[in-house]
Amino acid sequence: MKYQVEENCLTIFLPKEVDHHQAEEIRKDADAMIERNHIKYVIFDFGETEFMDSSGIGAVMGRYRLVHLIGGEVWGVHANARIKKILTMSGVTKIMQIYEEDQR
Amino acid sequence: MRDTNEMEVIFDSCSSNERFARVAVASFLTQLNPTVEEVSDVKTAVSEAVTNSIIHGYDQEIHKITVKCRIEQNRFAVTVKDTGKGIKDVAQAMMPMYTTRPELDRSGMGFSFMEAFMDKVEVESAPGEGTTVRMEKTIGKGRNLWTTQSL
């Protein structure tokens, strides 16, 4: 798992498969970083992600709960069609903005 | 060609086996010549059921989970069975966004995903006796194989 902190923004580069096993690790790492760096914005980068189940949705919702308290936001980038479908179906797109590259 | 086939795997309920379970099921499914979409649907559904057994059924203790698959023509059935604590109210558990473990970042979308990605989902459970989730999906619905068309 790779993470990048820039000022008050944390980018989480998600693994190839986001299941409960991987989500546990993301939760522990990300929450420590959010607290330590006073993170307000969390970006989920799905660039490498080919598989995701509801554990991924839980990971997004959990981080949203944290940063929402201080007026922050969660974003999703580089999601493929399958991941977008999962995100939309779960309704998590109501709290997470999806950044579309082809929007000009 | 025979048109029925079965397989069964029994494994420990540790989270690293979530991947093993869905990959094992997906590779058994390939004999039906599924689309990428159909494989993803089945993998997600299996992952949800196995994760439920690990987190809720066994409270993250290590016990056995049994996954059985059966193919009948183009009908694919998969059963995920644990002998854990069981579900008191199955209808409530299956409601979208309902979860007993929000502190573990569970979204409450597990059963909703199973229902969305499979044609049929049945849950049999009794407190103290465990839970069996049976799911079915027809593979290649509305898709004509070129080999069945006259040349």
DSSP string, B88-145: S-HHHHTSTT--S-GGGT--S-HHHHHHHHSSEEEEEEETTTEEEEEEEEETTTT---
For the stretch B65-120, pLDDT in tens is 999 999 999 999 999 999 999 999 999 999 999 999 998 999 999 999 999 999 99
Q: What is the pLDDT of residue B33?
A: 94
- Ordered domains of chain A (ranges, CATH): 2-98 (3.30.750.24)
Q: What is the pLDDT of residue A40?
A: 97
Question: Active site residue: B106, B115, B134, B136, which one?
Answer: B106
Q: From CA B135, how far away is CA B79, in angstroms rounded?
A: 6
Picking from A10-19, A41-50, B99-108, B116-125, which range would have the lowest pLDDT averaged per residue? B99-108
Confidence of residue B1 (pLDDT cuts 50, 70, 90): low
Q: Does the pLDDT at position A104 exceed 50?
A: no
Q: Could A53 and B48 be called an inter-chain contact, meaning their C-beta atoms sit closer than 8 Å?
A: yes
In chain B, residues with a C-beta closer than 8 Å to the C-beta of A54 are: 48, 51, 106-110, 112-113
Query: Residues in chain B whose beta carbon is closer than 8 A to a beta carbon of chain A?
Result: 15-16, 18-19, 22, 37, 40, 43-44, 47-48, 51, 54-55, 104-110, 112-113, 116
Burial B71-92 (b: 16+ CB within 10 A, else e): beebbbbbbbbbbbbbbeeeee
Q: How far B103 CA sits from the closest chain A CA (Å)?
A: 9
Q: How far A21 CA sits from the closest chain B CA (Å)?
A: 5
Q: What is the ipTM of this complex?
A: 0.90
- Ordered domains of chain B (ranges, CATH): 4-148 (3.30.565.10)
For the stretch B12-42, pLDDT in tens is 999 999 999 999 999 999 999 999 999 999 9
Q: From CA B91, how far away is CA B103, in angstroms rounded?
A: 22
- Nearby residues of B140 by Cβ (< 8 Å), 6 or more positions away: B32, B33, B34, B35, B38, B74
Q: Could B116 and A21 be called an inter-chain contact, meaning their C-beta atoms sit closer than 8 Å?
A: no
Q: How far B146 CA sits from the closest chain A CA (Å)?
A: 27
Q: Could A54 and B109 be called an inter-chain contact, meaning their C-beta atoms sit closer than 8 Å?
A: yes
Active site residue B52: yes
CB-nearest partner of B105 from A59, A90, A92: A59
Q: Does the pLDDT at position A103 exceed 60?
A: no
For the stretch A67-93, pLDDT in tens is 999 999 999 999 999 999 999 999 999
For the stretch B110-149, pLDDT in tens is 999 999 999 999 999 999 999 999 999 999 987 766 665 5
Both tokens of A59, joined, read 């990971």
Active site residue B106: yes
Q: Could B18 and A51 be called an inter-chain contact, meaning their C-beta atoms sit closer than 8 Å?
A: no
Q: What is the pLDDT of residue A39?
A: 97
Confidence of residue A102 (pLDDT cuts 50, 70, 90): low
- Encoded amino acid at A97, one letter: Q
The torsion angles phi and psi of B30, rounded to 5 degrees, stand at: -55, -25
CB-nearest partner of A19 from B19, B107, B112: B19
Q: Output the average pLDDT for chain A.
A: 94
For the stretch B50-64, pLDDT in tens is 999 999 999 999 999
A74 within 8 A of A59, measured Cβ to Cβ: no
